[in-house]
């Protein structure tokens, strides 16, 4: 009898026809869909159906019968286990096409835009070794030893790795030293009731241009005293480790970093050079993990603002430590930034002084509340929100105040499409240009930049 429907533990021969937003293969079997991690478009494989979630089957690879022309050997030896880079097995040109398809689908289906400018895509400079920050989970074993690595795909089980190909070489070297110290119990052997059992993550940040490294152990309680010998060991290494910190996060939430940090030695920030300016970057400060690609986006905004002659002032919503607003200061226009994170706000003020900039002011506050007091129709508004996009109240405010120009930098095509559908309603605004940047090669993440102008201008 020919099988027509999928049941648990079935062995099926399928062909991968698409990639979903997680980077998993979308396959078909008798008009039914089954999602299979590790497959790429064009692969034909024997797979096992594992479980059904929200009406969709998920499976695992048993063997690949026909390799796709787009398939390449992953650079990571635990690619088939780790839940991070889901596109390493796919040729980069195909990665780009898949990401552009998701962006275009969001513009057409979610934003309901029938006619929009062709997206200009800027290829990345580096396909690997681009990431300047890592937050790596840890776990204490029953014998008191530590393991450190990224989570296994779809779980909270740690995959024990010795390197990550998207991290910088220096970060991988630091990671290996930490891992070896754990494995050899050189400094950290954890008895049953030891405070060191509260360690949850290891944080490493590397400044690409100044070559500074900051290390933090994230724990549920203060353990600075117990980390002192380990910190002193790192202080003696040849690397330019400028700070060793204990970050405390006592809350049982999905938020990894806590609001309190204790410096064991050095300082709790690094200096980085970005767009020919110096920036202090703290542990809890948002800063793009791929600065070469981020500079491309900021330079495009700078170019667009420079050519916008009606602009009288720039409002930088979600201004962070000033990575967009401070480079724009060279336009000579007055700039106001709004940032809710107190650490980022404090560093932004220090970054103004460090770069001798006079025409930028920052406000500590929620964008949804602060923007209503400052936004004017003659302003050039820049928004760089988190993945959740803009609150409805902010969109309503924009439509009410009607700033002449908007630059929207987005890290999530879906929420970008949702927000554009509201901003473009009634033809108040029109899209001038759309750009996309691959800040995160080997993953399905895509950064987009949309320039909008009020239709009457």
pLDDT in tens, 294-352: 999 999 999 999 887 678 899 999 999 999 999 999 888 899 999 999 999 999 999 99
Residue 449 near residue 408 (C-beta atoms within 8 A): yes
pLDDT at 188 over 80: no
State which H helix or E strand residue 354 sits in: helix 342-354
| % of the chain beyond a pLDDT of 70 | 96
CATH of the domain at 200: 2.40.50.1070
Q: Does 419 map to a domain? A: yes
Given this model, what pLDDT does residue 3 score?
64
pLDDT at 214 over 60: yes
Given this model, what pLDDT does residue 154 score?
81
pLDDT band of 394, cuts 50, 70, 90:
very high
Given this model, what pLDDT does residue 155 score?
84
* Co-location of 45 and 99 in the same domain: no
401 three-state secondary structure: helix
Q: Does 217 map to a domain? A: yes
Mean pLDDT lowest for which of 59-63, 78-82, 408-412? Answer: 78-82
Give the chain's end-to-end CA distance (angstroms, integer).
67
State how far the alpha carbon of 2 is from the alpha carbons of 29, 34, 49, 304, in Å.
12, 18, 17, 60
Q: Does 77 map to a domain? A: no
Active site residues: 411
* Co-location of 155 and 118 in the same domain: no
Q: Does 387 map to a domain? A: yes
In the numeric block, the tokens 């003659």 are attached to 378
* Co-location of 314 and 264 in the same domain: no
Whole-model pTM?
A: 0.92
pLDDT at 185 over 70: no
pLDDT at 142 over 90: no
d(CA 192, CA 210): 41
* Co-location of 248 and 171 in the same domain: yes
CATH of the domain at 444: 3.40.50.150
* Co-location of 439 and 327 in the same domain: yes
Average pLDDT, the chain: 91
Count of residues making up the chain = 457
Given this model, what pLDDT does residue 190 score?
60
Number of separate domains in the chain: 3
* Co-location of 429 and 338 in the same domain: yes
59 three-state secondary structure: strand
In the numeric block, the tokens 């508004």 are attached to 381
Please say which residue of 222, 239, 274 terminates a domain: 274
* Co-location of 445 and 299 in the same domain: yes
pLDDT at 237 over 90: no
d(CA 405, CA 269): 34
Given this model, what pLDDT does residue 428 score?
93
Q: Does 246 map to a domain? A: yes
Strands (E), 208-354: 213-219, 241-248, 260-266, 269-274, 277-282, 313-317, 334-339
pLDDT, tens digit, for every residue of 81-108? Answer: 888 899 999 999 999 999 999 999 999 9
Q: Does 165 map to a domain? A: yes
User: Domain of 249?
Assistant: 133-274
Residue 163 near residue 246 (C-beta atoms within 8 A): no
Q: Does 81 map to a domain? A: no
**Residue 78 in tokens:** 């635990």
Q: Does 330 map to a domain? A: yes
- Short-list 174, 179, 187, CA closest to 139: 179
- Short-list 270, 280, 383, CA closest to 324: 383
* Co-location of 116 and 142 in the same domain: no
- Short-list 240, 231, 236, 233, CA closest to 262: 231
pLDDT, tens digit, for every residue of 239-282? Answer: 899 999 999 999 988 899 999 999 999 999 999 999 999 999 99
* Co-location of 240 and 319 in the same domain: no
Q: Which residues pair with 149 in a beta bridge?
A: 160
């Amino acid at each position: 009898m020919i099988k027509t429907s999928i049941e648990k533990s079935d062995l099926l021969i399928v062909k991968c026809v698409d990639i979903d937003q997680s980077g998993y293969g979308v396959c078909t079997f008798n008009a039914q869909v089954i999602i299979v991690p590790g497959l790429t478009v064009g692969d034909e494989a024997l797979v096992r159906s594992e479980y059904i979630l929200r009406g969709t089957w998920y499976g695992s690879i048993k063997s690949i019968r026909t390799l796709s022309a787009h398939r390449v050997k992953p650079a990571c030896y635990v690619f088939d286990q780790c839940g991070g880079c889901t596109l390493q097995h796919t040729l980069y040109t195909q990665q780009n096409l898949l990401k552009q398809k998701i962006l275009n689908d969001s513009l057409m289906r979610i934003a309901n835009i029938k006619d929009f400018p062709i997206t200009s895509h800027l290829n990345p400079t580096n396909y690997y070794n681009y990431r300047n920050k890592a937050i790596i989970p840890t776990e204490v074993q029953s014998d008191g030893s530590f393991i450190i690595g990224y989570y296994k795909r779809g779980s909270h089980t740690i995959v024990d790795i010795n390197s990550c190909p998207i991290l910088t070489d220096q970060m991988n070297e630091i990671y290996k030293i930490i891992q070896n110290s754990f494995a050899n119990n050189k400094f950290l052997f954890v008895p049953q009731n030891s405070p060191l059992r509260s360690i949850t993550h290891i944080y490493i940040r590397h400044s690409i241009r100044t070559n500074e490294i900051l290390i933090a152990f994230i724990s549920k309680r203060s353990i600075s005293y117990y980390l002192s010998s380990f910190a002193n060991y790192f202080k003696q290494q040849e690397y330019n480790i400028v700070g060793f910190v204990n970050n405390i996060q006592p809350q049982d939430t999905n938020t990894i970093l806590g609001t309190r940090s204790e410096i064991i030695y050095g300082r709790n920030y690094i200096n980085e050079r970005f767009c020919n300016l110096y920036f202090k970057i703290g542990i809890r400060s948002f800063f793009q993990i791929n600065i070469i690609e981020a500079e491309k986006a900021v330079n495009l905004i700078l170019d667009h603002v420079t050519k916008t002659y009606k602009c009288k002032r720039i409002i930088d919503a979600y201004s962070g430590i000033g990575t967009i607003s401070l480079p724009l200061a060279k336009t000579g226009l007055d700039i106001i930034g709004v940032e809710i994170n107190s650490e980022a706000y404090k560093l932004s003020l220090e970054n103004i002084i460090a770069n001798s900039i006079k025409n930028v002011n920052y406000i500590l506050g929620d964008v949804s509340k602060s923007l209503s007091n400052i936004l004017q129709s003659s302003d050039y508004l820049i928004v760089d929100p988190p993945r959740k996009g803009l609150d409805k109240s902010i969109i309503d405010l924009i439509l009410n105040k009607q700033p002449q120009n908007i630059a929207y930098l987005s890290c999530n095509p879906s929420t970008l499409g949702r927000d554009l559908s509201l901003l473009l309603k009634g033809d108040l605004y029109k899209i001038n240009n759309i750009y996309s940047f691959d800040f995160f090669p080997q993953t399905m993440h895509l950064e987009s930049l949309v320039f909008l102008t009020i239709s009457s201008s």
